[in-house]
């Protein structure tokens, strides 16, 4: 259990570092072939969950391949995750992981760092291989106003 927890924590933290570095290939290297990614936020104005990204693995690959062709804010993001809870299924083959997430943006021009968004990762992790793999990631944002937005998933 402790070994699993350490591996799971390192998986979460590594995905943050890889996305920070825009190393999308490295990020997908941690994802299962059945990987599903979802990013949502709850609107108290309309009392509804809004899904702003909803991709399977193939769609994530397409997204990462097309992003270089777009005009994107070049300011780097820094994802700071703290793994709160790791719940391993009785079979020992899967774990549910809840992590707090803060995303900071450092302006490429001048270097001012601002808090960009907060939320949580709700990850499903496969434990039946040599190393843990992400089966699913649901990013639930508390922040809804993201200014001019961003192209890179959290």
Partner 1 sequence: MSRTSAQWTQKPKLPPTHYADPVIYSDPDIFGEEKEKIFRKVWHLAVHESEVANPYDYRVYQHPGGTQLVIVRGEDRKIRTFYNICPHRGNLLVYEPAGNAKKLVCIFHQWAFNGKGDCIDIPRGEAGYQERLCKSDVSLKEVRTEVGYGGFVWVNLDDNCGTLAEHIGPALDYMLPELEAEPLETLWYYQAHLNTNFKLIHDTNSEFYHDYLHYYNRVTGMLDPKSGYFQRKYTAFPNGHASVGSMEVKYDAYKGSGRSELGWPQLPHKGWKLVDLFPCITFNLRTSVLRIDSYIPLAPDHVILEFRILGLKSDSAGQRRQREKDAAVIWSPFGRNLHEDLLASSGQGAAMAQGSEPMYVLQAREEDHTIHDEVGMRHYLAEWSRRMGRSASNPLAVPLARAHAA
Can residue 20 be called a binding residue for partner 1 (CB under 8 A)?
Answer: no
Nearest to partner 1 of 6, 66 (CB atom): 66
Can residue 66 be called a binding residue for partner 1 (CB under 8 A)?
Answer: yes
Tokens of 36: 């599903």
Tokens of 56: 């399977």
95: closest CA among 126, 138, 120, 122? 126
In the complex, the smallest distance separating the C-beta of residue 62 from partner 1, rounded to whole angstroms, is: 3
Can residue 128 be called a binding residue for partner 1 (CB under 8 A)?
Answer: no
In the complex, the smallest distance separating the C-beta of residue 7 from partner 1, rounded to whole angstroms, is: 29
Reduce the DSSP state of residue 1 to 3 states and report it. Answer: coil
Can residue 85 be called a binding residue for partner 1 (CB under 8 A)?
Answer: no
Can residue 52 be called a binding residue for partner 1 (CB under 8 A)?
Answer: yes
Reduce the DSSP state of residue 73 to 3 states and report it. Answer: coil
Reduce the DSSP state of residue 69 to 3 states and report it. Answer: helix
What is the distance between the alpha carbons of residues 53 and 60, in angstroms, rounded to a whole number?
Answer: 10
Q: How many CB atoms lie within 10 A of CB 5?
A: 15
In the complex, the smallest distance separating the C-beta of residue 43 from partner 1, rounded to whole angstroms, is: 5
Nearest to partner 1 of 50, 131 (CB atom): 50
Sites of contact with partner 1 (CB under 8 A): 39, 41, 43-48, 50-55, 58-59, 61-63, 65-66, 69-73, 144-151, 153
């Amino acid at each position: 259990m402790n070994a699993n927890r350490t591996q799971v924590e390192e998986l979460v933290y590594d995905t943050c570092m890889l996305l920070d570095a825009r190393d999308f290939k490295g990020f997908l290297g941690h994802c299962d072939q059945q990987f599903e990614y979802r990013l949502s936020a709850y609107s108290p104005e309309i009392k509804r969950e809004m899904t702003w990204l909803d991709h399977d693995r193939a769609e994530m690959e397409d997204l990462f391949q097309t992003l270089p062709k777009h005009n994107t804010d070049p300011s780097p993001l820094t994802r700071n995750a703290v793994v709160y809870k790791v719940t391993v299924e009785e079979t020992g083959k899967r774990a549910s992981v809840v992590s707090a997430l803060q995303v900071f943006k450092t302006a490429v021009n001048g270097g001012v760092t601002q808090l960009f968004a907060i939320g949580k990762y709700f990850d499903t992790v496969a434990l039946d291989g040599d190393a843990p793999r992400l089966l699913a990631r649901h990013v639930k944002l508390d922040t809804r106003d993201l200014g001019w937005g961003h192209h890179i998933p959290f």
